[in-house]
Structure 1
């Protein structure tokens, strides 16, 4: 059966979700969207399945999440329906976005679908990505507490040296084996290319890290931030952090930061002509970096 591939760009407040992925008995982002799609498309339970660009953990937020779904021609027509709504002619993309948000508003107002667009069959939200960008927000003991941003900012009850944190973050850049910062998964590699790791002070006196890589392994962003925060308040120095990285072993010398300070901000994809090649390249397992 021929299908049409649709790309969903979306955002969510992850506070009340048990992560992205469907889990029995738990409220998840994927579960809420797939249930809404089943209602919209009049599909059987389990009849639709999303593929996501960045599988976020429990409590992690997203402003720039991307997913894709394959639908039949009949489902596409049901979803888009009439192109006239409220007296105005709308595109299929606009109607699909509005209708999915309408269903989600009943049970998941903490999810927002920004757009739904038809894409080439070669587009793969997970394997086609060139890079992913996250932001992590921390508030030091020096800053005033802000209840309005507390759901999205981790509190660190110590003074932090922002300049030192910026300096040591630069030393972590490049193609590395980040096993020290990843929860091990059998058969998975921890070799990644860390492209950007910068810090800035925000208008509400928090410190925000911008972290960008071609891909991330499980818990990598929160562990990287935790290691740099440990340098920032003097628990470890920059030389020890590099030694810990090169040891490629999990450690208790720094703490993995809490989930609620993390947000997936952007996923970047190549031009349409390069989608298939990028997906094939990403699926190829990276070799370990030698001693």
Structure 2
């Protein structure tokens, strides 16, 4: 069957995460409804990373399988139109309505935005073919320059200024392949071993903590950030991070920061010739695991 790759972005503020849930508004639910309306059948969507409630995505990737006749029915314009109509109907039905949001809906805006819909070979798997995912968590502390326009994707931590140097030194401990059980909500039968390729901690107008890994366990990114914030506040030190890695377990009590500051920035894939081999390798290692 032909396979379509869908590249999209979304504001997670009014979603209960990616995964479809009965009676709740989710990204997968909205996208699936739009696709099913066009194709007139149920649609199964595979995604690179299942984001939690309130988490945003600047660049998410998914795929669906269709038959030859259906490929002519799907277009970015048609899909986006249905997503915008659904977003418009949201206002007036929930207490989160505002004049700005109503104006956005009338102007053709939506909180899911499609970038491209492209034909790919069946070797492509949005989840398992991925080499890595990159997230960024944004924090405003006492030393930050607050931009109210960006308020929906920043955690407003109004306490004292965080110690960035101490956070960077602690972050170095986590780089490489480790069992990240101390930072994950494990799923039975799924591995918590991941390879953390990068964990940057930078201060601009706000603090940005940006991890990149082959994949992430459920709540792993927000736990990584929560642990680093504890170090930045002076409550923990680098030795604690060494313990979290050397004796991985859930008893360490690593805090989880709120979802609103987290954004999926992008997903990296190999060249087309390597899609199938990469998917087979990742599936053998992590089949059944959640990717955040």
TM-score normalised to structure 2 length: 0.87
Q: Which residue of 2 aligns with 1:195?
A: 197
Please tell me whether the aligned partners of residues 170 and 198 of structure 1 are also in contact (alpha carbons under 8 angstroms): no
Distance 1:158 1:182 in 2: 27
Large movers: runs of 4+ above 4 Å = none
| Structure whose alpha-carbon radius of gyration is higher | 1
- CA shift at 1:39, angstroms? 1.7
Note the alpha carbon deviations across 1:128-160, whole angstroms, 9 max, x for none: 111110001011123254432221111222320
Q: Which residue of 1 aligns with 2:14?
A: 16
Distance 1:165 1:237 in 2: 9
Q: Which residue of 2 aligns with 1:249?
A: 249
- Count, aligned residues: 263
Distance 2:19 2:122 in 1: 23
Q: Which residue of 2 aligns with 1:237?
A: 237
- CA shift at 1:252, angstroms? 5.5
Q: Secondary structure of 2:2's match?
A: strand
Q: Secondary structure of 1:165's match?
A: helix
Please tell me whether the aligned partners of residues 16 and 52 of structure 2 are also in contact (alpha carbons under 8 angstroms): yes
Q: Secondary structure of 1:40's match?
A: helix
Distance 1:140 1:252 in 2: 25
- Structure 1 counterpart of 2:83, from 100, 104, 118: 104
Q: Which moved more, 1:206-215 or 1:100-109?
A: 100-109
Distance 1:282 1:254 in 2: 27
Q: Secondary structure of 1:25's match?
A: coil
Change (3 A) 1:244 1:78: closer
- CA shift at 1:163, angstroms? 1.7
- CA shift at 1:244, angstroms? 2.4
Q: Secondary structure of 1:74's match?
A: helix
- CA shift at 1:218, angstroms? 0.5
Q: Which residue of 1 aligns with 2:214?
A: 214
Q: Which residue of 2 aligns with 1:119?
A: 120
Please tell me whether the aligned partners of residues 40 and 103 of structure 1 are also in contact (alpha carbons under 8 angstroms): no
Note the alpha carbon deviations across 1:166-202, whole angstroms, 9 max, x for none: 2211221001010000001100101000000011223
Distance 2:162 2:200 in 1: 15
Structure 2 residue runs of 5 or longer lacking an equivalent are 88-109, 287-292
Please tell me whether the aligned partners of residues 236 and 253 of structure 1 are also in contact (alpha carbons under 8 angstroms): no
Structure 1 residue runs of 5 or longer lacking an equivalent are 80-95, 287-291
Distance 1:7 1:216 in 2: 21
Please tell me whether the aligned partners of residues 244 and 252 of structure 2 are also in contact (alpha carbons under 8 angstroms): no
Superposed CA RMSD in Å reads 1.3
Distance 1:78 1:128 in 2: 26
Structure 1 or 2: larger helix share? 2
Distance 2:232 2:207 in 1: 11
